[in-house]
Protein backbone atom coordinates (compact mmCIF):
# COMPACT_ATOMS: atom_id res chain seq x y z
CA UNK A 1 0.00 0.00 0.00
CA UNK A 2 2.97 2.27 0.53
CA UNK A 3 3.11 4.97 -2.08
CA UNK A 4 -0.32 4.17 -3.28
CA UNK A 5 -3.62 5.72 -2.69
CA UNK A 6 -6.64 3.55 -2.71
CA UNK A 7 -9.98 4.66 -3.88
CA UNK A 8 -12.52 2.65 -2.02
CA UNK A 9 -15.52 3.46 -4.06
CA UNK A 10 -16.42 3.69 -7.64
CA UNK A 11 -19.74 2.01 -7.61
CA UNK A 12 -22.51 2.91 -5.30
CA UNK A 13 -25.42 1.91 -7.35
CA UNK A 14 -27.76 1.33 -4.52
CA UNK A 15 -29.97 4.35 -4.41
CA UNK A 16 -30.77 3.58 -0.82
CA UNK A 17 -27.18 4.13 0.17
CA UNK A 18 -27.21 7.58 -1.24
CA UNK A 19 -30.41 8.34 0.55
CA UNK A 20 -29.01 7.33 3.91
CA UNK A 21 -25.98 9.49 3.52
CA UNK A 22 -23.44 6.70 3.54
CA UNK A 23 -20.04 8.02 2.54
CA UNK A 24 -19.86 7.73 -1.21
CA UNK A 25 -16.22 7.56 -2.01
CA UNK A 26 -13.02 8.36 -0.32
CA UNK A 27 -9.33 8.07 -0.25
CA UNK A 28 -8.09 5.37 2.05
CA UNK A 29 -6.58 7.04 5.09
CA UNK A 30 -6.02 3.80 6.99
CA UNK A 31 -2.75 3.36 8.77
CA UNK A 32 -0.36 4.83 11.27
CA UNK A 33 0.63 8.42 10.62
CA UNK A 34 3.59 10.00 12.38
CA UNK A 35 4.43 13.67 12.61
CA UNK A 36 6.78 14.76 9.85
CA UNK A 37 6.71 18.54 9.69
CA UNK A 38 8.75 20.40 12.22
CA UNK A 39 6.79 23.45 13.26
CA UNK A 40 7.41 24.56 16.82
CA UNK A 41 9.79 21.69 17.50
CA UNK A 42 10.37 22.58 21.12
CA UNK A 43 6.71 23.19 21.88
CA UNK A 44 5.67 19.91 20.23
CA UNK A 45 8.10 17.82 22.22
CA UNK A 46 9.33 19.32 25.45
CA UNK A 47 6.37 21.61 25.93
CA UNK A 48 5.62 25.24 25.38
CA UNK A 49 7.22 28.11 27.19
CA UNK A 50 5.05 29.44 30.03
CA UNK A 51 3.27 32.65 29.10
CA UNK A 52 4.52 32.59 25.51
CA UNK A 53 1.45 33.47 23.46
CA UNK A 54 2.99 35.16 20.43
CA UNK A 55 1.18 34.20 17.25
CA UNK A 56 -1.92 33.06 19.15
CA UNK A 57 -5.01 35.27 18.56
CA UNK A 58 -6.02 35.34 22.21
CA UNK A 59 -8.60 37.80 23.41
CA UNK A 60 -8.24 39.41 26.82
CA UNK A 61 -10.06 36.60 28.61
CA UNK A 62 -7.84 34.05 26.93
CA UNK A 63 -4.74 36.01 27.85
CA UNK A 64 -5.71 36.28 31.50
CA UNK A 65 -6.66 32.62 31.67
CA UNK A 66 -3.34 31.74 30.09
CA UNK A 67 -1.34 33.88 32.46
CA UNK A 68 -2.99 32.36 35.47
CA UNK A 69 -2.76 28.77 34.30
CA UNK A 70 -0.99 26.82 37.00
CA UNK A 71 1.23 24.73 34.77
CA UNK A 72 1.32 22.05 37.41
CA UNK A 73 -1.93 20.14 36.98
CA UNK A 74 0.06 17.00 37.55
CA UNK A 75 0.10 18.02 41.16
CA UNK A 76 -3.65 17.47 41.30
CA UNK A 77 -4.15 13.73 41.62
CA UNK A 78 -7.53 13.78 39.89
CA UNK A 79 -6.08 15.57 36.84
CA UNK A 80 -2.87 13.66 36.33
CA UNK A 81 -4.31 11.56 33.53
CA UNK A 82 -6.42 14.25 31.93
CA UNK A 83 -6.33 13.88 28.13
CA UNK A 84 -6.08 16.61 25.52
CA UNK A 85 -8.89 17.74 23.22
CA UNK A 86 -9.04 16.83 19.55
CA UNK A 87 -6.75 19.67 18.43
CA UNK A 88 -3.86 17.83 20.09
CA UNK A 89 -3.51 15.89 16.85
CA UNK A 90 -1.91 19.01 15.39
CA UNK A 91 -0.32 20.66 18.43
CA UNK A 92 0.93 17.45 20.03
CA UNK A 93 3.85 15.22 19.09
CA UNK A 94 2.23 11.93 18.21
CA UNK A 95 0.28 11.78 14.99
CA UNK A 96 -2.39 9.09 14.96
CA UNK A 97 -3.94 6.02 13.43
CA UNK A 98 -6.83 6.11 10.97
CA UNK A 99 -9.11 3.10 10.66
CA UNK A 100 -12.34 2.72 8.73
CA UNK A 101 -15.58 1.62 10.34
CA UNK A 102 -17.82 -0.15 7.86
CA UNK A 103 -21.42 -1.24 7.78
CA UNK A 104 -22.53 -4.72 6.80
CA UNK A 105 -22.27 -3.83 3.13
CA UNK A 106 -18.69 -2.71 3.55
CA UNK A 107 -19.34 0.98 3.22
CA UNK A 108 -17.40 3.36 5.38
CA UNK A 109 -19.76 4.93 7.88
CA UNK A 110 -17.06 6.42 10.07
CA UNK A 111 -13.34 6.82 10.56
CA UNK A 112 -11.65 6.41 13.88
CA UNK A 113 -8.57 8.45 14.59
CA UNK A 114 -6.75 7.13 17.60
CA UNK A 115 -3.51 8.08 19.27
CA UNK A 116 -0.55 5.92 20.22
CA UNK A 117 -0.49 7.68 23.56
CA UNK A 118 -3.01 7.90 26.34
CA UNK A 119 -3.21 11.65 26.23
CA UNK A 120 -5.59 12.09 23.28
CA UNK A 121 -8.79 10.06 23.20
CA UNK A 122 -9.83 8.30 19.99
CA UNK A 123 -12.02 10.39 17.71
CA UNK A 124 -14.90 8.91 15.76
CA UNK A 125 -15.56 10.83 12.58
CA UNK A 126 -19.07 10.07 11.44
CA UNK A 127 -19.46 9.92 7.67
CA UNK A 128 -23.08 8.80 7.51
CA UNK A 129 -24.67 12.19 7.60
CA UNK A 130 -25.92 12.04 11.14
CA UNK A 131 -26.76 15.28 12.89
CA UNK A 132 -24.59 16.87 15.54
CA UNK A 133 -26.22 16.50 18.97
CA UNK A 134 -27.63 19.64 20.61
CA UNK A 135 -25.20 21.98 22.40
CA UNK A 136 -26.22 20.80 25.85
CA UNK A 137 -25.27 17.22 25.05
CA UNK A 138 -22.34 15.80 26.97
CA UNK A 139 -19.02 17.38 26.08
CA UNK A 140 -15.95 15.15 25.89
CA UNK A 141 -12.25 15.60 25.24
CA UNK A 142 -12.63 13.87 21.88
CA UNK A 143 -15.71 15.89 20.99
CA UNK A 144 -18.26 14.93 18.36
CA UNK A 145 -17.00 14.83 14.79
CA UNK A 146 -18.76 14.65 11.46
CA UNK A 147 -16.94 14.43 8.15
CA UNK A 148 -17.48 14.70 4.44
CA UNK A 149 -15.33 14.57 1.34
CA UNK A 150 -14.45 17.56 -0.79
CA UNK A 151 -12.66 15.88 -3.64
CA UNK A 152 -9.80 13.96 -2.11
CA UNK A 153 -9.92 15.97 1.11
CA UNK A 154 -11.64 14.74 4.23
CA UNK A 155 -13.24 17.72 5.97
CA UNK A 156 -14.08 17.16 9.63
CA UNK A 157 -16.02 19.41 11.97
CA UNK A 158 -15.57 18.73 15.68
CA UNK A 159 -17.61 20.26 18.48
CA UNK A 160 -18.92 19.38 21.96
CA UNK A 161 -15.44 19.58 23.44
CA UNK A 162 -14.58 20.04 27.08
CA UNK A 163 -12.83 22.99 28.66
CA UNK A 164 -9.13 22.35 28.45
CA UNK A 165 -5.95 23.81 27.03
CA UNK A 166 -5.13 24.70 23.47
CA UNK A 167 -1.41 24.53 24.18
CA UNK A 168 0.37 23.08 27.16
CA UNK A 169 1.76 26.42 28.28
CA UNK A 170 -1.60 27.51 29.57
CA UNK A 171 -3.33 28.78 26.42
CA UNK A 172 -6.92 27.89 27.25
CA UNK A 173 -9.65 26.31 25.19
CA UNK A 174 -13.31 26.43 26.09
CA UNK A 175 -16.15 24.01 25.65
CA UNK A 176 -17.40 26.32 22.89
CA UNK A 177 -14.37 25.58 20.73
CA UNK A 178 -15.02 24.09 17.32
CA UNK A 179 -12.34 22.52 15.16
CA UNK A 180 -12.34 22.06 11.41
CA UNK A 181 -9.77 19.66 10.02
CA UNK A 182 -8.83 19.27 6.36
CA UNK A 183 -7.01 15.98 5.70
CA UNK A 184 -5.46 15.41 2.27
CA UNK A 185 -3.37 12.41 1.40
CA UNK A 186 -0.47 12.58 -1.03
CA UNK A 187 0.93 9.08 -1.23
CA UNK A 188 2.70 8.48 2.05
CA UNK A 189 2.08 11.98 3.32
CA UNK A 190 -1.00 13.44 4.92
CA UNK A 191 -1.42 17.18 5.16
CA UNK A 192 -3.63 18.64 7.87
CA UNK A 193 -5.02 22.12 8.16
CA UNK A 194 -6.73 22.85 11.47
CA UNK A 195 -8.94 25.85 12.04
CA UNK A 196 -9.77 26.45 15.68
CA UNK A 197 -12.61 28.79 16.54
CA UNK A 198 -13.30 29.64 20.14
CA UNK A 199 -15.61 32.57 20.88
CA UNK A 200 -14.64 32.51 24.55
CA UNK A 201 -10.87 32.82 24.30
CA UNK A 202 -9.91 33.70 20.71
CA UNK A 203 -10.46 36.96 18.85
CA UNK A 204 -9.83 35.31 15.46
CA UNK A 205 -9.53 31.73 14.20
CA UNK A 206 -6.27 30.02 15.04
CA UNK A 207 -5.05 28.28 11.90
CA UNK A 208 -2.40 25.58 12.18
CA UNK A 209 -0.98 23.09 9.70
CA UNK A 210 0.95 19.88 9.91
CA UNK A 211 2.19 17.09 7.69
CA UNK A 212 2.18 13.46 8.78
CA UNK A 213 3.96 10.52 7.19
CA UNK A 214 2.60 6.99 6.83
CA UNK A 215 4.49 4.52 8.94
CA UNK A 216 3.67 1.34 7.13
CA UNK A 217 3.21 -1.53 9.50
CA UNK A 218 5.01 0.21 12.32
CA UNK A 219 4.31 2.30 15.33
CA UNK A 220 3.58 5.99 15.02
CA UNK A 221 6.47 6.73 17.32
CA UNK A 222 9.19 4.57 18.76
CA UNK A 223 8.42 5.17 22.37
CA UNK A 224 4.93 6.55 22.95
CA UNK A 225 3.46 7.04 26.36
CA UNK A 226 1.02 4.19 26.08
CA UNK A 227 -0.78 4.80 29.31
CA UNK A 228 -0.87 7.38 32.02
CA UNK A 229 1.50 6.89 34.89
CA UNK A 230 0.41 9.10 37.75
CA UNK A 231 3.13 11.38 38.93
CA UNK A 232 4.00 11.89 42.53
CA UNK A 233 3.09 15.18 44.07
CA UNK A 234 5.86 17.37 45.25
CA UNK A 235 6.00 17.29 48.99
CA UNK A 236 5.59 20.71 50.44
CA UNK A 237 4.47 22.16 47.14
CA UNK A 238 0.92 20.94 46.86
CA UNK A 239 -1.40 18.75 48.83
CA UNK A 240 -2.35 16.66 45.81
CA UNK A 241 -5.63 18.43 45.33
CA UNK A 242 -4.76 21.97 44.35
CA UNK A 243 -2.63 23.68 41.77
CA UNK A 244 -0.38 26.55 42.62
CA UNK A 245 -2.41 29.12 40.74
CA UNK A 246 -0.79 32.49 40.51
CA UNK A 247 -2.81 35.58 39.88
CA UNK A 248 -1.82 38.47 37.63
CA UNK A 249 0.36 40.35 37.15
CA UNK A 250 2.72 37.83 35.62
CA UNK A 251 5.09 40.32 34.11
CA UNK A 252 7.84 39.30 36.50
CA UNK A 253 7.91 35.87 34.91
CA UNK A 254 7.89 37.31 31.45
CA UNK A 255 10.86 39.44 32.34
CA UNK A 256 12.76 36.62 33.95
CA UNK A 257 12.11 33.99 31.36
CA UNK A 258 10.99 35.00 27.92
CA UNK A 259 12.67 38.37 27.95
CA UNK A 260 15.73 37.11 29.75
CA UNK A 261 16.39 34.15 27.48
CA UNK A 262 14.83 35.16 24.19
CA UNK A 263 14.72 38.94 24.55
CA UNK A 264 11.07 38.88 23.46
CA UNK A 265 9.13 42.06 24.22
CA UNK A 266 6.13 41.72 26.46
CA UNK A 267 3.90 43.07 23.72
CA UNK A 268 4.78 40.04 21.62
CA UNK A 269 4.52 37.35 24.23
CA UNK A 270 1.07 38.46 25.33
CA UNK A 271 -0.24 37.36 21.96
CA UNK A 272 -3.33 38.57 20.20
CA UNK A 273 -4.34 38.51 16.56
CA UNK A 274 -1.93 41.30 15.64
CA UNK A 275 1.07 39.12 16.53
CA UNK A 276 0.39 36.64 13.74
CA UNK A 277 0.57 39.13 10.86
CA UNK A 278 3.76 40.34 9.11
CA UNK A 279 3.25 43.98 10.06
CA UNK A 280 3.92 43.00 13.66
CA UNK A 281 7.49 42.22 12.63
CA UNK A 282 7.89 45.84 11.60
CA UNK A 283 6.40 46.95 14.90
CA UNK A 284 9.19 45.17 16.74
CA UNK A 285 11.97 46.76 14.75
CA UNK A 286 14.32 48.62 17.03
CA UNK A 287 12.74 47.03 20.08
CA UNK A 288 14.07 43.54 19.68
CA UNK A 289 17.68 42.42 19.65
CA UNK A 290 18.40 38.72 19.43
CA UNK A 291 20.37 37.00 22.14
CA UNK A 292 24.04 36.71 21.32
CA UNK A 293 23.94 32.94 21.53
CA UNK A 294 21.30 30.27 21.81
CA UNK A 295 21.44 28.68 25.24
CA UNK A 296 18.30 26.59 25.39
CA UNK A 297 16.74 24.09 23.01
CA UNK A 298 19.16 24.81 20.24
CA UNK A 299 18.54 21.78 18.11
CA UNK A 300 21.81 19.90 18.15
CA UNK A 301 23.84 18.70 21.10
CA UNK A 302 21.28 19.67 23.67
CA UNK A 303 23.05 20.04 26.97
CA UNK A 304 20.77 22.19 29.02
CA UNK A 305 17.99 20.78 31.16
CA UNK A 306 14.34 21.14 30.32
CA UNK A 307 12.93 24.03 32.33
CA UNK A 308 10.31 23.12 34.85
CA UNK A 309 7.32 25.44 34.40
CA UNK A 310 6.82 25.44 38.14
CA UNK A 311 10.33 26.56 38.80
CA UNK A 312 10.26 29.18 36.10
CA UNK A 313 7.21 30.86 37.54
Sign of the Cα pseudo-torsion (300, 309, 229, 210, in order): negative
Touching another protein, residues 7-26 (CB under 8 A): 7, 9-13, 15, 18, 24-25
Beta-bridge mates of residue 158 = 145, 179
Is 37 a binding residue for another protein by CB under 8 A? The answer is yes
Smallest gap, in angstroms, from Cβ of residue 255 to another protein?
A: 17
Selected from 78, 104, 279, 311, the binder of another protein by CB under 8 A is 279
Beta-bridge mates of residue 154 = 149, 183
Is 208 a binding residue for another protein by CB under 8 A? The answer is yes
Nearer to another protein, 118 or 182 (CB): 182
Smallest gap, in angstroms, from Cβ of residue 193 to another protein?
A: 5
Instruction: In whole angstroms, give the CA distance from residue 125 to residue 157.
Output: 9
Touching another protein, residues 98-157 (CB under 8 A): 150-153
Candidates 100-108, 180-188, 224-232, 249-257; binding stretch for another protein (CB under 8 A): 180-188
Best CA proximity match to 307, nearest among 52, 128, 59 = 52
The answer to whether the beta carbons of residues 138 and 146 sit under 8 Å apart is: no
Instruction: In whole angstroms, give the CA distance from residue 67 to residue 61.
Output: 10
Selected from 21, 47, 83, 205, the binder of another protein by CB under 8 A is 205
Instruction: In whole angstroms, give the CA distance from residue 33 to residue 251.
Output: 40
Residue 101: half-sphere exposure toward Cβ, Cα within 13 Å: 13
Candidates 68-76, 189-197, 218-226, 240-248; binding stretch for another protein (CB under 8 A): 189-197
Smallest gap, in angstroms, from Cβ of residue 112 to another protein?
A: 22
The answer to whether the beta carbons of residues 167 and 52 sit under 8 Å apart is: no
Nearer to another protein, 70 or 143 (CB): 143
Nearer to another protein, 82 or 189 (CB): 189
Smallest gap, in angstroms, from Cβ of residue 279 to another protein?
A: 7
Determine the length of the chain. 313
Smallest gap, in angstroms, from Cβ of residue 261 to another protein?
A: 9
Best CA proximity match to 29, nearest among 192, 154, 157 = 154
Sign of the Cα pseudo-torsion (149, 153, 154, 156, in order): negative
Q: Greatest CA separation found in the chain?
A: 68
Instruction: In whole angstroms, give the CA distance from residue 224 to residue 220.
Output: 8
Smallest gap, in angstroms, from Cβ of residue 252 to another protein?
A: 21
Selected from 105, 207, 228, 304, the binder of another protein by CB under 8 A is 207
Smallest gap, in angstroms, from Cβ of residue 241 to another protein?
A: 35
Touching another protein, residues 63-102 (CB under 8 A): none
Phi, psi at 113, each rounded to 5°: -130, 100
Under the rule (CB under 8 A), what is the footprint of another protein? 3, 5, 7, 9-13, 15, 18, 24-25, 27, 36-42, 54-56, 150-153, 180, 182, 184-189, 191, 193, 195, 205-211, 262, 264, 268, 275-281, 284-285, 288, 290-295, 297-300
Amino acid sequence: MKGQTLLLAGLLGAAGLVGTGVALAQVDLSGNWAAESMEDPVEHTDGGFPDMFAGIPLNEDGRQAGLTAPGDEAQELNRQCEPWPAHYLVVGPWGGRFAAVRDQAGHVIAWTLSSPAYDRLPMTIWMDGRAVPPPLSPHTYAGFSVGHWEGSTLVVHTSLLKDSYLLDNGVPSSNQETDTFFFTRFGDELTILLIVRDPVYLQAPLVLARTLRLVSGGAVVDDPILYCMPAETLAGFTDGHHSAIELPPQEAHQQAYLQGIYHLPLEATLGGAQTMYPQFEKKLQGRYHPPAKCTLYCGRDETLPIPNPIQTR
